[in-house]
Amino acid sequence: MIKHNIVLAGVARSGSTLTCYLLNKLVDSVALLEPLQPKDLTTLSNEQVVSYLNVFFEKQRLSIVETGLARSKSSNNKVPDNLMGGINSKNGKREIILDGDTISIHRALSDSFSLVVKQPGMFTGMLHFLKHHFPCYATIRNPLAILQSWNSVELPVKDGHAPAAEQCDPKLQRSLAYEKDVFVRQLILLSWYFEQFYNHLPLENIIRYESVIATGGQCLSCVIPSADQLKEKLESKNKNSLYDKKLKIELAERLLESDGFYWKYYTAEDVRSLL
């Protein structure tokens, strides 16, 4: 295990992009935003995936040192703090602000700088074996806030699907395919994410969005110790004004009546606090 090659999983829309944004503020750290194509890895054996990732990490390290560039989804050559940071002026809907596939790194780095790669769905589905080869972390968030975010963006999660995760877990794919109710699909998917973290990661490797906001990013010292120096002014989006208030009530009712692995990390009171 190379301790400075770090895997970041997470529930979709739980703050993993914000985590990368903050880690990129550290002196000896680079975080890449979904630089991989899941279709290139999901057909490989576990051993082949590990080999592929080891090569990828080393190629990116070399590229960063030699050219100052790394492969990563980006906005203006940087990792943004929110993928859905734009608003469509015509329909008022949230939209993706990404415009590139590389980031520029203009700072001196040590030979053992920390390199973080974020692939939420795919890495979550691979945690059961990746945890033996890489330091693995995951982001989570209040389940009601996640559901509200899912329903406010034009992404597959709005329909209760996560293609990369489903490619990794045929059982999840079948469960979602058989379910006709979109909200039930969302709950199945939400529980699946939390179940993988519960089964495969120690509590100290799970990053709560709420803690990131409350500490100005300092809680990310669990990933990279120097993050304890962060003092960012961050604002929680758990009560985002863009979320549908009427839908929030329905989602909360469905959530509170459900039985999922998210209750291992959040309580009914946590959900009600957003109402």
* CATH number for the domain that contains residue 114: 3.40.50
Q: Do 137 and 207 contact (CB within 8 A), yes or no?
A: yes
Amino acid at 51: S
pLDDT for res 174: 98
Distance, in Å, from the CA atom of 227 to the CA atom of 218, rounded to the nearest integer, reads 5
Q: What tens digit of pLDDT does each residue of 248-264 get?
A: 999 999 999 999 999 99
Provide CB contacts within 8 A for 228, sequence distance 6+: 218, 221
pLDDT of residue 1: 67
Give the DSSP H or E segment for 101.
strand 100-104
pLDDT tens readout for residues 199-232: 999 999 999 999 999 999 999 999 999 999 999 9
CA separation for the pair 176, 86 (Å, rounded): 29
Mean pLDDT over residues 176-182, rounded?
A: 97
Quote the number of domains for the chain: 1
**Domain span including residue 190:** 5-272
Give the chain's end-to-end CA distance (angstroms, integer): 44
CA gap 219, 215 in Å, rounded: 6
pTM of the model: 0.96
Which is more confident, 84 or 73?
Answer: 73
